[in-house]
């Protein structure tokens, strides 16, 4: 195992819980098991690892690659469901009811708002989110506040 592989392995071991959490938050029912998503994310992380120059924090870089991978997997899963004309799967069906309720509402947001809200809930500050999404810090703050208002309304309507 060369240096590059060793460093990559150590990084994954350091962040395995967080990577697993990101995969879990993208539940895609029976289409993709969390472990399959985890494997796919590791593949993409390894593929893009040479491009990681340490300018952003490891955690931020991992989050960005993992999210992009999972968003494209999800798009593919949704397209497949639509072409197969099957009944949409229940994405969130584990025992974390509160988390799942809110995540289901967050899923209905527009893709950029979804990424911003998710990153905020996953502990990233505005500056980090701004870097990830490619907008200004002020824009992140504004979009997050609007998305939260929207979610609140949806939540009240549902209850």
Partner 1 sequence: MKNKDFDKQWNNCKEEYKKAKCPLDSNDLDRFITRAMETTQNPATKPKTRNVWIWSLSAAAACMAMLFVVNTVVAKPADEFQHIIIDGQEIIFACNNGCSPENTVEMFNQIIQ
Binding site for partner 1 (CB under 8 A): 4-5, 8-9, 12-13, 16-21, 24, 35, 38-39, 42-47, 49-51, 96, 98-99, 101-103, 120-123, 148, 151-152, 155-156, 159
* Smallest separation, CB 50 to partner 1 (Å): 4
3-state secondary structure of 70: helix
Whether 12 and 58 have beta carbons less than 8 Å apart is answered as no
Which residues are 32's β-sheet partners? 28
* Smallest separation, CB 83 to partner 1 (Å): 26
Among 29, 152, 36, 20, which Cα is nearest to 92's?
29
Output 57 or 121, the one with its CB closest to partner 1.
121
* Smallest separation, CB 70 to partner 1 (Å): 15
- Spell out the long-range contacts of 97-104 with Cβ–Cβ below 8 A and sequence spacing 24 or more: 102/151, 102/155, 103/25
Output 79 or 96, the one with its CB closest to partner 1.
96
* Smallest separation, CB 66 to partner 1 (Å): 12
Output 82 or 146, the one with its CB closest to partner 1.
146
Output 17 or 85, the one with its CB closest to partner 1.
17
CA–CA distances in Å: residue 80 to residues 10, 68, 83, 111: 36, 18, 5, 19
Other beta carbons within 10 angstroms of residue 100's beta carbon come to 17
* Smallest separation, CB 64 to partner 1 (Å): 15
Output 20 or 89, the one with its CB closest to partner 1.
20
């Amino acid at each position: 195992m060369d240096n590059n592989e060793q460093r990559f392995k150590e990084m994954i071991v350091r962040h395995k819980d967080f990577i697993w959490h990101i995969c879990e938050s993208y539940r895609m029912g029976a289409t993709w098991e969390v472990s399959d998503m985890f494997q796919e994310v590791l593949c993409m992380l390894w593929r893009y690892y040479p491009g990681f120059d340490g300018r952003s924090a490891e955690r931020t870089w991992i989050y960005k690659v993992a999210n992009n991978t999972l968003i494209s997997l999800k798009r593919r899963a949704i397209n497949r469901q639509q072409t197969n004309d099957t009944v949409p799967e229940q994405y969130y069906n584990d025992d974390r009811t509160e988390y799942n309720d809110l995540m289901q509402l967050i899923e209905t947001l527009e893709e950029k708002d979804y990424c911003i809200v998710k990153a905020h809930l996953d502990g990233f500050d505005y500056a980090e989110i701004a870097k990830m999404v490619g907008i200004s810090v002020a824009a992140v703050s504004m979009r997050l506040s609007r998305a939260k208002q929207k979610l609140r309304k949806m939540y009240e309507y549902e209850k």
